[in-house]
Structure 1
Amino acid sequence: MPSYEEVFRRSTEDPEGFWLDAARGIDWDVAPTRALDPARAPFYRWFPDGELNVCHNALDRHVDAGRGAQDALVYDSPVTGSRRTYSYAELRDRVAAFAGVLVGLGVGRGDRVVVYMPMVPEAVVAMLACARIGAVHSVVFGGFAANELAVRIDDARPKVVVSASCGIEGKRVVPYKPLLDSAVELAEHRPEACVVLQRPEYVAEPGPLDVDWEAAVREAEPAPCVSVAATDPLYILYTSGTTGKPKGVVRDCGGYAVALRWSMEAVYDVGPGEVMFTASDVGWVVGHSYIVYAPLLAGATTVLYEGKPVGTPDAGQFWRVAQEYGVKTLFTAPTAFRAIKKVDPEGELARQYDLGALTYLFLAGERLDPETYHWASELLGIPVVDHWWQTETGWPIVANPMGIEAAPVKAGSPTWPLPGWDVRVLDPAGKPVAAGEDGAIVVKLPMPPGALPTLWNDDDRFVASYLSAYDGFYLTGDGGHVDEDGYVFVMGRTDDVINVAGHRLSTGGMEEVLAAHPDVAECAVIGVADSLKGQVPRGFVVLKAGVASEPAVVEAELVQLVRDRIGAVASLKDVAVVAALPKTRSGKILRRTMRGIADGLDEPVPSTVDDATVLDALRPVLTRRPSAGEK
């Protein structure tokens, strides 16, 4: 096989030929004759004269090829004790039936459907049913508060909302139907119908707009696949934010299908009949891309897991799933493994299972600290692959491409830019920085297929948010550097770089040091305003279970560790041991909210986060007397 360097060079020197070759990996109703349309740059379009159906590529073509009996979707829910497996033929039939329900409710090509559901097979069915008839789905993370759902309803203006009576978090039942009802009342746009899946854990009282899922499916006429333009939108996925209107990231049909199908082989090394377990949620981009679309486009088996990595009934659930279904590639967030490591630091639970089929562990969603990387590598004895991408990009920007050429690992780096991604690091003036020097990580336009072509009904905001900082480049919002070997190091959001007495310091670098302490499970460093130095860093750490040391001892050790590793210039003199760090529903630490509270700013806490969690985690900041000159 060609080397990474050869593949990458071709993707940059001959992108037209490279991506037209990749496009042959999917079925087209009208095959494209060209890859890139730059006519309306910076609003680039991929495969402009092609036509296809993404649902056909995910389901029907595998059935037509004689693999209808192969497992397509495995549903595993330790929180309900449910397990079900759907073959490609069974999943196709369920999707066609629900597509018929949507058609019967007046949904057609280009209409929007909001999907507000927990991690159940029907969520996947609803997404694929929209794709089948050319409708545009917008999945909203299940359990989002009514206001967040209402904002998304108003922006997407769906004809139909698809929901469930409830979700389950641990041992807690979360009623969705009352949240949906409140959102419909709050929203200015009124959907024509709400299809509701009744779950036995909570049976909701139907309202005037409601249609029962099961009853509607029984009466529906299965719908065929509708051919759409490659440039038509497949879905809208809203980025989360604490303030302002969320941005509706648009994903096109053709470019996304081509890129995801290509990435399964090139990055994740997963092919037909192999099993991929992505422990995320369908409400996030990872769930869209690598629970639903990419594995099915590749003809693989995908695992849909309803539950958390620890707690139901223990921290061995990921290992159990890997053993039971013969998982080859496991993909989750570093947060999940830090949670497992905290409860089972010696990895005893993992050793109770046969993980012989497990070949790769992929981690993304936040920076992978070296401590977690080393722990997982030593425990599993397989490649632990850090990789970096965003909601906007749809698939990885930087990764260790297991299906092309496995590169030597450098802890803290997600490795190399993938083919199609021209990654640069620029200073504030827009000039390239030297190897090893931190700056803003950007991607030269055009971005490859699969990346967002624009924001939903907001081209101006797309340009202002992503393209205006550096002419000809997409601004990722992350900072970092590229070393002399071409390895990319992503140190965190650019607004996580703090200025301490004229020295620009990465809080990510300090977090890396704190995480290396053997007693630390997870950590966060934020910058706090200081009248003398401009900003000073403050650290918060959660300790592993069973740590015998006194918190004050650990705090002192951590302050000294940063001084030893980074130097006195870091000025990290305050580290607090806390019970928990405030997080989003997807597990990302709310550093921005922490900074806002620590600085005394009037910034609202997202309603998806328990205020008590934030306040408890920040109590050391809120209760101690500030030093001289500190706000």
Structure 2
Amino acid sequence: MSSYAETYRNWQADPEGFWRDAAGEIDWFTPVDKVREMRDGGLADWFAGASCNTCWNALDRHVEAGHGDRLALIYDSAMMGKVKKFTYAELTDKVATFAGVLKSKGVGKGDRVIVYMPMVPQAAVAMLACARLGAIHSVVFGGFAAKELATRIDDAKPKLIVSASCGLEPGRVIAYKPLLDRAIEMASHKPEACIVFQREMEEASLVEGRDFDWKAEMDEAAAAGNKPDCVALDATDPLYVLYTSGTTGKPKGVVRDNGGHMVALKWTMKNIYGVDPGDVFWAASDVGWVVGHSYIVYAPLLHGATTILFEGKPVGTPDAGTFWRVIADHGVKALFTAPTAFRAIKKEDPKGEFIGKYDLSSLDTLFLAGERADPDTIQWAERMLNVPVIDHWWQTETGWPIAANPVGLEKLPVKYGSPSVAMPGYEIHVVDEANKQVSPNTTGAIVVKLPLPPGCLPTLWENDDGFREAYLVDYPGYYKTADAGYLDEDGYLFVMSRTDDIINVAGHRLSTGGMEEVLAELPDVAECAVIGIADATKGQVPVGFLVLNSGVDRPAGDIEKEAVAIIRDRIGAVASFKKAMVVQRLPKTRSGKVLRGTMRKIADGQDWAMPATIDDPAILDEIATVLGDAGLK
């Protein structure tokens, strides 16, 4: 196996040769001739002229190669206390059958299908069935508000929507069908049909002539032998559209192609994650997010590994030992989750007492991504699990890691607070507002030199102008990540915050992420957030919010004073950090990202809208109350 440095140099010296070699891991209907075709603005189309099918590469080819009996997908529902396993042969048959259902409803190449589903196997089946037919799926997080779903219906204009009767949250059932019906009513575009998977705990009423029952349709297609083959698609044809929040309120439809996406994801499984075919890989995320697309559904199956689709939470389903139970039960080799999941576990079980109850000998590596991984959380996980804990960094737009510690190539030295180094395909620079590279250890805007590698977004759905405006115009020659941070003298990247979380305190540009890193070291603090709020004298001043570990019985005021003192000691008086507040919990999206921007608007008395992705709206009232009690609102 090549070292990281050698592999990165090989890519730099011959990017087309590098990706041509990687493309050899994929089955092509029409072979790759041209690897990279440059277009205006320094962008590239990858493998133009070649044809392929993502479903074929994820499923059928493994069956043809004699691996049909290998486990493809394990569905583990902590919500229902239920486990169901599917071999590659079984999953291929189910996907082909559902492709027959879609085809019978008129769905074909280029048609859009919205998938509005909970974490059930049928969600993955629907995605792969679309890929089989060349239809473009757009997964919308199950339980999303009707207005948000309607917005996506109007943008994607789906021929058909696949949904379920309900989703499950700890202690409650969330009916999806009323939300779906309301969204269709609100949307200008009307889908021709909906297919609804009925769950036993909530049966949905079906609209005559528009809605169809999943099981009845599957039974009919199976009886008729209606199982269409994989359709040949251009490598540059879209596989899916995934919506991410836009600053204007209009969601941005990130487009993913077929060919480049497969090549990049297949390469990452061995080289970044150290996973081999047949290994069990678990991305503890949701299919509604990019992690679920890339590392629950597509990458593990492209690689011939076993993937876990988990319905549950890191705590509360039933306790803080759920993750360890899943690892032990299924022999997980690599776990990939968000730092917020581990902070939740650490808060409930700071001494790791649940860990000792399970055999975790199968686990080789823990990967964290989705938000900044503070050193304290990484070090806690290292102590408790005794395995390498690897922070890595990427975005919905890129689809796979920009920076990582590639354990499949070699495990590089860990620098806490850094997702390590640029992966082949990405040349990372840090620039100032004039688009000039800054010196090492100087904070600036993190950008990626064009062209982007295979697997990254080629554009936004039917919005080329919006794509250029959002990502290309601010830093000509680069892709704008909208993250801020620095590169050190060894080329390690430190992602400190979103660019709008860099605050200006009396002319000093300071990172809220750096302050959070310091606060997280306090032994009583489970997690924290720092925001900059408006100040008449200094422009902005930072305020900290602290969530404490379970069992802490010290006075909150003492801990708040310690927080102020440690920031003054580590960062200095320049930070003007004078206020920290203990809160019960932080407002987050369903994917675990803290809603700092909304908190800031509440503190500054600005107009704000309830974020569509918020996990529990009641938390914002709690934050407003705390701010009001402190005289900061």
Letter in 2 for 1:180: L
Letter in 1 for 2:367: F
Offset at residue 212 of structure 1 (A) = 0.5
2:520 matched to which residue of 1?
Answer: 515
2:105 matched to which residue of 1?
Answer: 105
Aligned mate of 2:629, from 623, 626, 630: 623
Cα deviation per residue 1:232-254 (whole Å; 9 max; x = unaligned)? 00000000357511000000000
The secondary structure found in structure 2 opposite 1:38 is: strand
Offset at residue 42 of structure 1 (A) = 3.9
Unaligned runs of 5+ in 2: none
> In the alignment, is residue 118 of structure 1 matched against residue 123 of structure 2?
no
Counterparts of 2:42 and 2:609, CA distance in 1: 34
The secondary structure found in structure 1 opposite 2:39 is: coil
Aligned mate of 2:233, from 215, 228, 234: 228
2:82 matched to which residue of 1?
Answer: 82
Counterparts of 1:617 and 1:91, CA distance in 2: 45
Change in 2 beyond 3 A, CA 1:242/1:343: farther
Give matches, 1:477-488, under 5 Å.
477-488=482-493
Change in 2 beyond 3 A, CA 1:60/1:159: same
Cα deviation per residue 1:108-130 (whole Å; 9 max; x = unaligned)? 00000000000000000000000
2:215 matched to which residue of 1?
Answer: 214
Contact 1:79 1:171 in 2 (8 A): no
CA RMSD of aligned residues (A): 1.0
2:403 matched to which residue of 1?
Answer: 398
> In the alignment, is residue 611 of structure 1 matched against residue 617 of structure 2?
yes
1:459 matched to which residue of 2?
Answer: 464
2:21 matched to which residue of 1?
Answer: 21
Counterparts of 1:534 and 1:509, CA distance in 2: 19
Contact 1:441 1:478 in 2 (8 A): yes
Aligned mate of 1:575, from 580, 594, 604: 580
Counterparts of 1:621 and 1:337, CA distance in 2: 27
Counterparts of 1:461 and 1:243, CA distance in 2: 11
Offset at residue 608 of structure 1 (A) = 4.3
Give matches, 1:18-97, under 5 Å.
18-97=18-97
2:393 matched to which residue of 1?
Answer: 388
Counterparts of 2:4 and 2:613, CA distance in 1: 42
Counterparts of 1:305 and 1:240, CA distance in 2: 25
Unaligned runs of 5+ in 1: none
Aligned mate of 1:554, from 556, 559, 578: 559
Cα deviation per residue 1:1-26 (whole Å; 9 max; x = unaligned)? 22111111111220010000000001
Aligned mate of 1:598, from 599, 603, 609: 603
Offset at residue 625 of structure 1 (A) = 2.8
Letter in 1 for 2:153: I
Offset at residue 274 of structure 1 (A) = 0.2
Aligned mate of 1:530, from 520, 531, 535: 535
Cα deviation per residue 1:160-203 (whole Å; 9 max; x = unaligned)? 00000000011210000000000000000000000000000100
Offset at residue 157 of structure 1 (A) = 0.2
Offset at residue 271 of structure 1 (A) = 1.4
Letter in 2 for 1:620: V
Cα deviation per residue 1:491-537 (whole Å; 9 max; x = unaligned)? 01011000101111000000001111010011110001111001100
Counterparts of 1:13 and 1:421, CA distance in 2: 13
Counterparts of 1:580 and 1:525, CA distance in 2: 13
1:499 matched to which residue of 2?
Answer: 504
Offset at residue 586 of structure 1 (A) = 1.0
Contact 1:436 1:481 in 2 (8 A): yes
Letter in 1 for 2:71: D
Counterparts of 1:352 and 1:113, CA distance in 2: 43
1:545 matched to which residue of 2?
Answer: 550
Letter in 1 for 2:197: L
> In the alignment, is residue 589 of structure 1 matched against residue 590 of structure 2?
no
Contact 1:438 1:481 in 2 (8 A): yes
Offset at residue 615 of structure 1 (A) = 1.5
2:155 matched to which residue of 1?
Answer: 155
Cα deviation per residue 1:555-603 (whole Å; 9 max; x = unaligned)? 0000001000111111110000001111111111000100111111102
Counterparts of 2:625 and 2:613, CA distance in 1: 20
Letter in 2 for 1:202: E
Counterparts of 1:28 and 1:150, CA distance in 2: 37
Letter in 1 for 2:240: Y
How many aligned positions are there?
Answer: 627
Contact 1:385 1:399 in 2 (8 A): yes
TM-score by length of 2: 0.98
Counterparts of 2:493 and 2:568, CA distance in 1: 25
1:430 matched to which residue of 2?
Answer: 435
Cα deviation per residue 1:145-167 (whole Å; 9 max; x = unaligned)? 00000000000000000000000
Counterparts of 1:460 and 1:288, CA distance in 2: 25
Letter in 1 for 2:175: P
Counterparts of 1:417 and 1:16, CA distance in 2: 18
Offset at residue 366 of structure 1 (A) = 0.4
The sequence identity of aligned pairs, in percent, is 62
Cα deviation per residue 1:319-355 (whole Å; 9 max; x = unaligned)? 0110111100000000000000011101110111111
Counterparts of 1:478 and 1:538, CA distance in 2: 21
2:256 matched to which residue of 1?
Answer: 251
Letter in 2 for 1:522: E
Counterparts of 1:195 and 1:621, CA distance in 2: 46
